[in-house]
Structure 1
Amino acid sequence: MSGFAVPLFVLAVIVAFVIESVRIVPQQSAWVVERLGKFHAVLEPGLSLIVPFFDRIAYKHSLKEVPLDVAEQICITRDNTQLAVDGIIYFQVVDARLASYGTSDYVLAISQLAQTTLRSEIGKMELDKTFESRDEINKLIVSTLDDAGRTWGIKVLRYEIKSLTPPETILRAMQAQITAEREKRAVIAKSEGQRQEEINIAEGEKQAAILTSQGAKEAAINRAQGEAIAVTTVATATADAVTVIAKALTAEGGAQAANLKVAELYVSAFGNLAKTGNTLIVPANLTDVATMVSGAMTVLDKTRQPPAGESDRGLTDRRFVPVPTWEGNPLSHPREGVGTVFHFLDPRLPGCGFAPVRI
């Protein structure tokens, strides 16, 4: 048994040496190796070998992006207003050696630098400006931290302000200001709406008036054109009638027929005027009626032949007697539907009564 002890011991030493020599570095990681207390190398992800008892893994760094919450702090603005500000930093280790030997604690260093830079930038601005310039503040802090982080082997990717909280009194004043501004905008918007409404109503009334006037204009034009056409038509018809009458008058018996027609119309109009209303209209000279009707009878005697057996009762033996148009006058009550009725005084009738003759 004593003969196998030494080989077994040597084998155990070799196995332990191999185990201590082999190192497997994870992805997105960097390990710093020191040999006899001094920096020796940086192990990349994968399988690596070191010398046992001489080399050791001094630092292990993650190369991933790291979010770091910056503690809330009180900052004073340019107009002496206190603000409670907190934020968050996103950084990444890019040089494992500098991250190991550039600073004792790069996380603490970058956090403290972010706070001091934030206080400095807030102090340059007034309260209202800080709320409007958050992006500008973030960019300034990132630029400052990135410049300092090069010596620490880190790169600052971005910085974000999470909250800006003024004191309670300032918050109430700001809320009152916001409320007043919103009420002002509401009043302005309401007045603008009313103004626009009045403009729309006035514009509508204007358009309606224009359309109405245009319609009235077109209607007047149409009426005028219609009246012109009617006048033209009447004038044409009158001219044609006059032409026909003129031709008839120049023909044989035309003048006598015209006299008869005029007398007929005169008597008809005279009778109609007498029977309408309560006002009695009497011609100034009743002999004109007798003259016209007498002429008409002359024409009638010439144009009509007396009935058989009544030659001794010809119309030439009858005398027309004009009678005034007062109540009881036969001329004021003509029989309707049988034509115009003339009354003649026949001496052979009993009492020289009136003998009606229809035309």
Structure 2
Amino acid sequence: MSPSIIVAVVIVVIIFLGIFTVKQQSAVVVQRFGKFNSIRQSGLNFKIPLVDKVAGVVNLRIQQLDVLIETKTKDNVFVKLKVSVQFKVIQDRVYDAFYKLEYPHDQITSYVFDVVRAEVPKLILDDVFERKDNIAVAVKGELNDAMTTYGYDIINTLITDIDPDIQVKNAMNRINAADREKVAAEYEAEASRIRIVAKAKAEAESKRLQGQGIADQRREIAQGLVESVDVLNKVGINSQEASALIVVTQHYDTLQSVGSDSRSNLILLPNAPSAASDMLTNMVASFAASSKLKEMNDTPTKGNVNDSDQVEDYNA
């Protein structure tokens, strides 16, 4: 084989071994004889074979690290928090990220533990849920101050999960259920009260209308009796006789009404055939006695005759 061919083969091999590519959103650290030489960005790059060496690849994309922490709150409740940290390597500080910090995930985890275990014990369990954003801001601030030195930028920190102890969780669920049952009972009591008030108002209105109807009925009956007495007076029947006649007529009307209903259990007392005549006699007698008593009260006393003598004369 000719020397020119050998030289050509060696050049091809050197070129083949010296050419390398860097992926997008990545950076490559090149060392020469074990010492830092340069940082190569994405694209086609060249290194001297056997002299330069790719020491490592640094990822420039945003990464996420989930940290699970168990700690205790101010009211002595053990709780587990899941903190998600989003971070990336600063592009112009790849050297610091590669050489100053060997295990960035462990370093970030340590800072997260330190901040969370300093903040959560200051809060009770309810405040942990309400102020989780404040805890996340505190974690981000602490991480930014520490990780910027190593070439890392903390994009965001999120408290993605808060998980109390199972017994505490069950107790909270029972409290919540009891509160909801209390509210439901209050609404049911209010609804029952409204129904009772509405029913009472309806009954009161019904009684009022019923009373009004009875009053109207009696007023019409009285008016009818007055008209009947006037008619009877016109034909020569005095008021006492007219009243007695009306009572007897109503008595027989009532008997007829009761007798026409075969399913009625009503018994009208007295109901003997002589009841009407007895009733008429008693009414006439009572009207006559009432008239005489009125005349006696209107007549002035004569001589030494006193009220008792008048009563005796009346009784005689």
TM > 0.5 fold call: yes
Following TM superposition, by how much is the alpha carbon of 1:84 offset from its aligned partner in structure 2, in angstroms? 5.0
Tell me, in whole angstroms, the C-alpha distance in 1 between the residues paired with 2:151 and 2:80. Answer: 31
Whole-Å separation in 2 of the counterparts to 1:177 and 1:88: 26
Among 125, 130, 147, the residue aligned to 2:123:
125
Question: Whose radius of gyration is greater, 1 or 2?
Answer: 1
Partner residue of 1:179 out of 174, 179, 198: 174
Tell me the alpha carbon deviations over residues 118-174 of structure 1, each in whole angstroms, 9 at most, x when there is no partner.
2222233344533443333223212322332222222333233545454xxxx5466
Q: Secondary structure, in 3 states, of the residue corresponding to 2:101?
A: coil
Instruction: Note if contact 2:77-2:164 (Cα within 8 Å) is conserved in structure 1.
Output: no
Shift of 1:34: 3.5
More relative contact order, 1 or 2 (CA 8 Å, 6+ apart): 2
SS in 2 for 1:208: helix
Report deviation, 1:208. Answer: 0.9
Query: How far apart, CA to CA, are the structure 2 residues paired with 1:174 and 1:41?
Result: 52
C-alpha distance in structure 1 between counterparts of 2:124 and 2:134, whole Å? 14
- The CA deviation at 1:40 is 2.0
Aligned to 2:138: 140
Contact in 2 for aligned 1:35/1:54 (Cα 8 Å) = yes
Structure 1: stretches of 5+ with no match in the other structure: 243-257, 259-268, 283-359
Aligned to 1:21: 18
Structure 2 counterpart SS, 1:135: helix
Aligned partner of 1:200 in structure 2 is: 194
Classify 1:102/1:145 alpha carbon distance in 2 versus 1 (closer, same or farther; 3 Å): same
Q: Does structure 1 retain, via aligned residues, the 8 Å contact 2:28–2:55?
A: yes
Aligned mate of 2:57, from 56, 60, 65: 60
Quote the sequence identity (%): 21
Distance in 2, matches of 1:194 and 1:41, equals 74
CA contact (8 A) 1:134 1:161 kept: no
Equivalent position of 2:90 in the other structure: 94
Question: Following TM superposition, by how much is the alpha carbon of 1:65 offset from its aligned partner in structure 2, in angstroms?
Answer: 2.8
Query: Is the Cα contact below 8 Å between 2:65 and 2:84 reproduced in 1?
Result: yes
1:1-359 correspondence to structure 2 within 5 Å:
1=1, 4=2, 6-35=3-32, 37-44=35-42, 46-70=43-67, 72-79=68-75, 82-83=78-79, 85-95=81-91, 96-156=94-154, 157-166=156-165, 171-172=166-167, 175-176=170-171, 178-179=173-174, 182-183=177-178, 185-186=180-181, 188-189=182-183, 191-209=185-203, 211-212=205-206, 215-216=209-210, 219=213, 278=274, 279=277
Cα displacement string for residues 167-198 of structure 1 (whole angstroms, at most 9, x for unaligned residues): xxxx5466446535644652x33542452143
Distance 1:189 1:127 in 2: 24
Work out whether residues 87 and 163 of structure 1, in 8 Å CA contact, stay in contact via their aligned partners in 2.
no
DSSP-derived class of the 1:200 partner:
helix
- CA distance in 2: counterparts of 1:65 and 1:124, whole angstroms: 32
What amino acid is aligned across from residue 62 of structure 1 in structure 2? N
TM-score normalised per structure 2: 0.57
Q: How many residues are paired up?
A: 239
Select the structure that is richer in helix.
2
2:7 aligned partner, one-letter code? V
Deviation, structure 1 residue 200:
1.8
Tell me the CA shift for residue 227 of structure 1. 8.5
Deviation at 1:19, TM superposition (A): 1.9
Which residues of structure 2 form unaligned runs of 5+? 236-244, 250-272, 282-316
Aligned-residue CA RMSD (Å) = 4.3
Structure 2 CA distance for partners of 1:214 and 1:15, relative to 1, 3 Å: farther
Aligned-pair distance for 1:27?
2.3
SS in 2 for 1:103: coil
Greater shift after overlay, 189-198 or 210-219?
A: 210-219
TM-score of the aligned structures, taking structure 1 as reference length? 0.52
